[in-house]
Amino acid sequence: MLKLKDVSKTFHGKENIDAVKHVNLEIQEGEIFGLIGFSGAGKSTLIRMINLLERPSQGQVWIDGIELTALNEKELRKIRKKIGMIFQHFNLMRSRTIAQNIAYPLKRRTFWRKNDPEAWSKNEIQQKVAHLLKLVELEDKANAYPSELSGGQKQRVAIARALANDPKILLCDEATSALDPQTTQSILKLLKQVNQTLGITIVLITHEMGVIKEICDRVGVMEDGEIKELGNVVDVFADPKETITRNFIATTSNISKIYELVKQRSEITVLRPGERMVLLSYNTINTNQALISQISRDYEVDANIIFGNIEVLQNKPLGRLVVIFSGKEENIASAIERLKAKEVKVEEIETW
C-alpha cells in the first residue's frame, strides 16, 4: 500500500548532505514496520518523506496507487488527513484543552462550509472526541491542558489526535524516545492495539531495538542514508547479516559481554584442560527439545551454562547460550556435531 521508489534527499548547505540515498521500500497494509538507526542515519528524513513534510530530491512516494510526489499542495493536504503522525515531543497545543487538541484536525462545519460533506457538526465532533478519548483511556482529561499531563498521557493524546480523521497509516517519529521504559511499554501496547483493532498500518522509527522487538513485524536497519538490512523481525534477530544489525541486537542482549569477560580473563571464563567454551544460537525450529540435557546424557559431557539470553519474539523463542563443555575430547566433538545437526549455530569462543 505504501511504496517508496528510489527516493533520495539531499540537503543543500555549506556542504551538501545526502540524508537518504536511493531507498526502495514497500510496506504492506496492516503491518507494523520499524526503521532502526542511530541518529543521523536518515531515518527521520525518510519517515518525513512518506507524508512529504520533506520533499524527496529524487524518487516517488506512492500510497494506495496515488503518487504523492505528483500532487499539488491542496491535494496533498487532503491525503495528509489520512496519514496520522506522532512525534517524539508530542507537539500538542498548549493553548487548547485535550479535547480541543484532538478535535483540531477535524474540519468544522461553519457558516461558509455549510454544505461541505466532509465537515463535522459540533455534535459529531464531540462524539468523535469522546470516542477517541475512550480509546486512549483518558476520558477524565478532556478539559485538562497539556501542561497538566505526564509524557505518556501527552503521547496518548497525540495518538488520539492522529486518529481523528480515521487514517490508514500512522507514522511514529521516535514516539517513545522521550518516555521512561514503563510508559514506553504502555504506548507500544496502545499502538499494537490500534494496529490490530483498527487495521492501521504503522511505520515507526526508533533507535531502540527493544521497540522493534516489542511490536514490529518487519524491520529495516538504516545507516548512512541506506537501508542496510530488511526482513522479518524474527529472521533478522536470529541471523543478522550486517555489522550494524549485530550492534543493535547486542544493545538488547547481554551476550556480547562474554567477549569482554574473556578479554579480562574473568574467573568464569578460565577453562580447565579438556574444556571447550561455545556460543549456541538457536531459534524456533529447535527449541522444543531438551537438547542440552539430551546431549549431556547421550555423550556423557557436562554442560555448564555460564551466560544466556533468551528472547520471545512474536511468540517464538530465540536463544543464545554460552556453554562450557567438559568431558572426553571426542565426546565433546560428537555432542557439538549433534547440535549442529539440529541446526543450532555453534561458535567456538577462544579463551586464553
**Which residues of this chain interact with other proteins, rule CB under 8 A?**
51, 53, 74, 77-81, 83, 85, 87, 89, 91, 93-96, 104-105, 145-147, 161-162, 165, 171
> Roughly what angle, to the nearest 10 degrees, separates helices 122-135 and 151-163?
130
Query: Which grid cell sits at 219?
Result: 524491520
Residue 72 CB-density burial (10 A; 0-12 exposed, 13-18 middle, 19+ buried): exposed
DSSP notation for 282-313? E-GGGTTS-HHHHHHHHHT-EEEEEEEEEEEE
For other proteins, the closer of residues 146 and 220 by Cβ is 146
Helix (H, G, I), strand (E, B) or coil at 344: coil
| In the complex, minimum distance from the CB of residue 93 to other proteins, in angstroms, rounded to a whole number | 6
| In the complex, minimum distance from the CB of residue 224 to other proteins, in angstroms, rounded to a whole number | 24
| In the complex, minimum distance from the CB of residue 102 to other proteins, in angstroms, rounded to a whole number | 11
Neighbour tally for 111: CB within 10 Å: 5
| In the complex, minimum distance from the CB of residue 351 to other proteins, in angstroms, rounded to a whole number | 51
Q: What is the DSSP letter of 270?
A: P
For other proteins, the closer of residues 105 and 151 by Cβ is 105
CA distance 32 to 219: 9
For other proteins, the closer of residues 51 and 245 by Cβ is 51
The amino acid occupying position 122 is: K
For other proteins, the closer of residues 120 and 248 by Cβ is 120
| In the complex, minimum distance from the CB of residue 185 to other proteins, in angstroms, rounded to a whole number | 24
For other proteins, the closer of residues 33 and 282 by Cβ is 33
